[in-house]
Structure 1
């Protein structure tokens, strides 16, 4: 993707965001949208700050992620304004003056102190919808986060503009490059910590840049869904490797998971290959008008069939799902929305006026219940794990005899499998950003 590509796509993105803002403000009876970028957070009893995280409502407008103390002001019928803090400071690196392919879309005012922003915000704060965290308050501009405005903007944020998809494609390119480096280091015998460092080096991103904390799990650690401990020494025998790691580009995220076997001719590799084929079929269900809840339930049926085919359970897929046995091996949701946030907002929104679409009974961890529509970007991440806690509950329950415990013991040293792609819903066939990225790498 070139600078020219971004320059062509960005104006339409700002137009779309402005139109959504105008409607949201009209519904709430406000004249202006005011969005602070956020401020630094500090540890209690300490002068050390946490890594800065930009307000997602701010970076929905501008490709700025390291600019605390700045503001966006949007007023219907007017060019949006960026109040840009460029402090006079010799303790820290000062942000460069705004420049590049995006600045023509804004009236930009540069300030030297946070308090100067008050001179450039609307006269009457009571006429403003102010979206941000409480500590971003400045004078009368205290974030009020009116639900009618937030509900509308977050609901429609699910529908990505071509500019947003382009940024997610670039984040994917970075993430794929880093995943390739991680696999190479796994096969070379590195530790979890060493693989993590190789990933960060290849991505050119660290904890301040990555969209979430890398999951780098060898062997049994793959059975811990959010494993982030990262042993410093490699295990004596590296049997398997599960990595769930993303990358960012101008505030947009990718979210990629892959699982590898050290023995590429063994049965665990065959199980990975079978899960991979099933995952691709699930990705193909990302179609306009398809209910994401049903996609999740279909995934349970598919994984239950794999469990039976590999002799792990003796139940039919339907019985495994009905009895909850499939959830022992696949205990999380099939995925979530993704974009400005890894777990993007409004996953349960009934409409842009609010309301909630409930999760299917017995599936408490699903993060998205909406019907898919063009422009939505979702993850598809089926998993199959051998988790001691859940297996022990199964062993003590009514369906203990419906599984082959010897088969389970044979697979437990490998931890588990998760395969995750980011998929765009279109008017036709889905666009799999992740597979596209791996194919081009």
Structure 2
């Protein structure tokens, strides 16, 4: 507990330094970060599951309580206005008492619509950070999500403090338990839904606790990049499983993908080749290297895998130039990871938010930054049999480079994605996912 307290103290000091710098620069008295409000389902008397403002949970690990506020001026203790209503219908959150609470001043709010009494008296020089701009207007904030403040915070949020890195290691440990259980359920004959239940039980996280909806695709479903259906019935023939599933810890996310062949066959060998490719890409990572260049190197290496496996013929450059590698691997190599699964700042080149878009030929790449110490990213190359993309490829001159008979034989297996979560350090790359025990 003392270790976490010290990590959090240092984390909070870093955030306060950042806040002081941008508030001084923009001549603001401070910022007030809103945790958010519940959203009522249309024509119903129930609310959607609450999702906290990521800027809020960057400061305090309160992820499940709406109507809370943080008052920050950059030089004194942040003040948490914690919502604790009198309510006999629902479970009311207890006022926090944990390793982090001694570093925060806490005030209790019993009625959400009376928060003005606990906020600074004149909010004209304060910035509201949050989703509910109508509430900010009623309260009299002079600034609402000002661009300069948002760009500054997003740019610096890509460099994770030691506290944040520790949270993400723990998220990976939890997710790895789920992946091990899911793998066992797959080989035991479970359906997609059975595998999901095994994952949730192993992680002790409910579906609303997870940072994103798990992707669990058996056989050809593994070729659907964002497959969100979970079949209750196990397929008659069992070929493969792709599972993209994460976990959360103190508001921070893990995002891990693995692919398995039910039998030791050519698809199993293809998985091993993609796993080796992914490890080679991680081995190339070094401070100052462009993430775009890593993505382009992945296409180069994927061309080699396509040739080696017999899915394509010719040479690597012809496969890249002809769009063959893009048809098999249409998405980006990965993304920033942190308080959000697709964390902010992936395109920001400086504190002002200067945007560097993905290359025109690779529009789905989610990061164009140079690698820097403290960044946390996913590395997730893939190889899929996606009929619509391959149909388009058939109408090009590059169609002759594809072994369509081999494609047809691979189609029942769907596709492959191997995804690890890595931290960039001055001394090298830390692969949290593998170091937490998920080596295959």
Q: Aligning the two structures, in what range does the TM-score lie when normalised by the shorter sequence?
A: over 0.9
Equivalence for 1:22: 20
Q: Distance in 1 between matches of 2:74 and 2:248?
A: 30
> Shift of the alpha carbon at 1:332?
0.1
- TM-superposed CA distance for 1:315, in Å, is 3.0
> C-alpha displacement at 1:240, in angstroms?
0.2
Give 1:48's aligned residue. 46
Q: CA deviation at 1:171?
A: 0.4
Moved more, 111-120 or 210-219: 111-120
SS of the residue corresponding to residue 305 of structure 2 reads helix
Deviation at 1:118, TM superposition (A): 1.3
Distance 1:413 1:352 in 2: 47
What's the counterpart of residue 150 of structure 2? 150
What is the alpha-carbon distance in structure 1 between the residues aligned to residue 46 and residue 381 of structure 2?
39
* Cα distance in 1, alignment partners of residues 119 and 52 from structure 2: 19
Question: Gapped runs of 5+ residues in structure 1?
Answer: none
- SS of corresponding position for 1:108: strand
Contact in 2 for aligned 1:284/1:429 (Cα 8 Å): no
| Cα distance, 1:115 vs structure 2 | 2.4
SS of equivalent residue, structure 1 residue 349: coil
CA distance in 1, matches of 2:243, 2:158: 26
Give 2:224's aligned residue.
224
Within the candidate set 34, 37, 41, 1:36 is matched to: 34
Tell me which residue corresponds to 2:178: 178
Q: What are the within-5 Å matches in structure 2 for residues 89-104 of structure 1? A: 89-104=87-102
Which residue of structure 1 aligns with residue 203 of structure 2? Answer: 203
Instruction: Within 5 Å, give how 1:220-369 maps onto structure 2.
Output: 220-263=220-263, 265-369=264-368
Quick check: 1:27–1:149 contact (8 Å CA) kept in 2? no
Tell me, yes or no, if structure 1 residue 378 matches structure 2 residue 383.
Answer: no
How far apart are the structure 2 equivalents of 1:228 and 1:251? 22
Given that 1:38 and 1:136 are in contact with CA atoms closer than 8 Å, whether structure 2 keeps it comes out as: no
Correspondences of 1:100-179 after superposition (within 5 Å): 100-134=98-132, 137=135, 139-141=138-140, 144-179=144-179
> How far did 1:60 drift?
0.3
Instruction: Give unmatched runs, 5+ long, in structure 2.
Output: none
Question: Who is 1:432 aligned against?
Answer: 431
Q: CA deviation at 1:141?
A: 4.8
TM-score (norm 2): 0.97
Shift of 1:206: 1.6
Q: 1:320–1:326: 8 Å Cα contact kept in structure 2?
A: yes
Count of matched residue pairs: 438
Kindly indicate whether the alpha-carbon contact (under 8 Å) linking 1:155 and 1:351 is maintained by their aligned counterparts in 2. yes
Deviation at 1:4, TM superposition (A): 2.7
Structure 2: distance between partners of 1:21 and 1:334 = 32
Cα deviation 1:288-345 (Å, max 9, x = unaligned): 1110000000011111110011111113222211221110000000000000000000
Deviation at 1:154, TM superposition (A): 0.6
C-alpha RMSD of matched pairs (Å): 1.4
| Structure 1 SS opposite 2:377 | strand
- 2:83–2:111 CA contact under 8 A, matched in 1: yes
- In the TM superposition, what is the alpha-carbon distance from 1:249 to its structure 2 partner? 0.4
| Alpha-carbon distance change, 440 to 419 in structure 1, aligned in 2, over 3 angstroms | closer
Per-residue deviation at 1:285?
2.5
User: Is the partner of 2:139 in helix, strand or coil?
Assistant: coil
Contact kept in structure 2, 1:241 and 1:259, CA below 8 Å: yes
- Residue by residue over 1:181-203, the C-alpha shift from the partner in whole angstroms, topping out at 9 and shown as x without a partner, is 00000000010011111111111
Q: CA 1:68/1:135 → structure 2, altered by over 3 Å: closer, same or farther?
A: farther
Q: Secondary structure at the match of 2:259?
A: strand
TM-score, scaled to structure 1:
0.97
Counterpart-to-counterpart distance in 1, 2:102 and 2:116: 23
Task: After TM superposition, give the deviation of residue 24 of structure 1 in Å.
Answer: 1.6
Q: Secondary structure at the residue paired with 1:39?
A: coil
- Structure 1 position 76, deviation (Å): 2.6
Q: Deviations over 1:336-368 (max 9, x none)?
A: 000000000011002111211121230000000
